[in-house]
Amino acid sequence: MKINFILPENGNRPIGGFKVVFQYANKLVELGNEVSICFLNNLYPERTYKVNAVMKRGIKRVIKPNSASRRIDWFQLDERVHVHYNVIFKSEVPVADIVVATAVQTVDFVMLLNKKKGRKYYFIQNYETWAYEKDKVNSTFSLPMTKIVIANWLHEIVSRYTDDYIYIVPNFLDPEVFKLTKPLEGRSNIVSLLNHDLPEKNTKFGLSVLDQVHKEVPDLKVNLFGVYSEPQSLPKYITYFHKPSQKVLRDEIYNQSKVYVLPSLLEGWGLTGMEAMTGGAVLVASDIGGVREYTQNTIDSFLLEPNNQQKFVDRIIMLLNDDGKRIKVAKAGIQHANQFNINASTELLLESFRDERTSC
């Protein structure tokens, strides 16, 4: 089967939605499929795709893509995956059986492709209201494309705007990458947290929580990580990991931590939370749709009212001080998170591609 994934512009930095597509691409070529990834150009897509060909050729000459947009350093793509950077022309997309829009900003482009580029699918990984107004996002759900969502909460939203059958293909972990590499016993009072600029990720709130925890647990250490530059004036108890590799993320962050804090207000899935669970860090997270997909509150994690600082502080301190409780919850988290397997999800994805009853 020939499959095209259409992604937004490439900035050569870790993005959860991109990572999921890359992992599927690797697994699909391993299974004998032919896979292409097309990154759209660096301009807003809707401003370029509907202009005439002469204008597009001019745009193509004027665009001076930075070197980062033409490489992927942070993830090891299988060399059999064909990658096309800074795509503007529909002719740059290979002929295929399936073509997959992977974000709101890729939908218009995919809708303009002819049938030779593949049957049209829409892989919905989040409710992308941070990028577009709600009306724009909602309007994409009624387009004549076969919809695939990663979570039940997204299925509920998308089903309000279409009568089409909607496939659910849950996210997953690669057990060869994310796993337990350090015993749960004997860990120091280390808590980890993602640094992100999006307000929905709620990093400032997370740092405020940990500042209060530090006042009550003076030996607290925090592993803060992210693709953005180190925030200014971090206190000495915080160590910053800039663009950590998957190995560093696994061994030096998740597997060193007693607790992983995920204070987000909106997550399609919240991959870092599930990754941290496999490394033995107890997940303390906002009680939101994406995170509920892979957690069982109070059994393998703790889901709390978003932005309730005192509840976050109290739960983290309890886990730092009660090793018996922490280890019990951590073990349950490892077991549950490992049920989300890349092989099972890839088979579900292929089933949706083979089912022509809903194809567009």
Q: For 8-36, write each residue's pLDDT tens digit.
A: 999 898 899 999 999 999 999 999 999 99
Q: Give Cβ neighbours of residue 213 (< 8 Å, ≥ 6 apart).
A: 191, 220, 313, 316, 317, 320
Q: Tell me if 317 sits within 8 A of 280, measured CB to CB.
A: no
What is the distance between the alpha carbons of residues 311 and 22, in angstroms, rounded to a whole number? 37
Q: How high is the pLDDT of residue 357?
A: 59
Closest CA to 225 of 2, 201, 305, 322: 201
Cα-based angle 239, 240, 246 (whole degrees, multiple of 5): 115
**What are the start-end ranges of the H helices in 133-248?**
134-140, 152-158, 203-216, 246-248
Q: How high is the pLDDT of residue 69?
A: 83
Beta strands in 169-296 (DSSP E): 190-194, 221-226, 238-242, 259-262, 282-286
What is the distance between the alpha carbons of residues 5 and 216, in angstroms, rounded to a whole number? 49
**159-194 burial string, b = 16+ CB within 10 Å, else e?**
eeebebebbebbbbbbeeebbbebebeebebbbbbb
Q: How high is the pLDDT of residue 355?
A: 84
Q: How high is the pLDDT of residue 65?
A: 54
What is the distance between the alpha carbons of residues 355 and 349, in angstroms, rounded to a whole number? 10
Q: How high is the pLDDT of residue 61?
A: 45
Q: How high is the pLDDT of residue 99?
A: 98
Closest CA to 79 of 26, 37, 128: 26
| Both tokens assigned to 214 | 């530090």
What is the distance between the alpha carbons of residues 17 and 123, in angstroms, rounded to a whole number? 10
Q: How high is the pLDDT of residue 51?
A: 46
Q: Which residues of the chain, if any, have pLDDT below 70?
A: 42-67, 356-360
What is the distance between the alpha carbons of residues 268 and 16, in angstroms, rounded to a whole number? 10
Name the residue type at position 360. C
Q: How high is the pLDDT of residue 106?
A: 96
Q: Give Cβ neighbours of residue 339 (< 8 Å, ≥ 6 apart).
A: none
Q: How high is the pLDDT of residue 176?
A: 87
**237-272 burial string, b = 16+ CB within 10 Å, else e?**
bbbbbebbebeebbebbbbbbbbbbbbbebbbbbbb
Phi, psi of 259 (to 5 degrees): -135, 140
Q: Tell me if 56 sits within 8 A of 78, measured CB to CB.
A: no
**219-235 burial string, b = 16+ CB within 10 Å, else e?**
ebbbbbbbbeeeeeeee
Name the residue type at position 53. A
Q: How high is the pLDDT of residue 53?
A: 46
| Both tokens assigned to 166 | 């909607």
**18-48 burial string, b = 16+ CB within 10 Å, else e?**
bbbbbbbbbbbbeeebbbbbbbbbbeebeeb
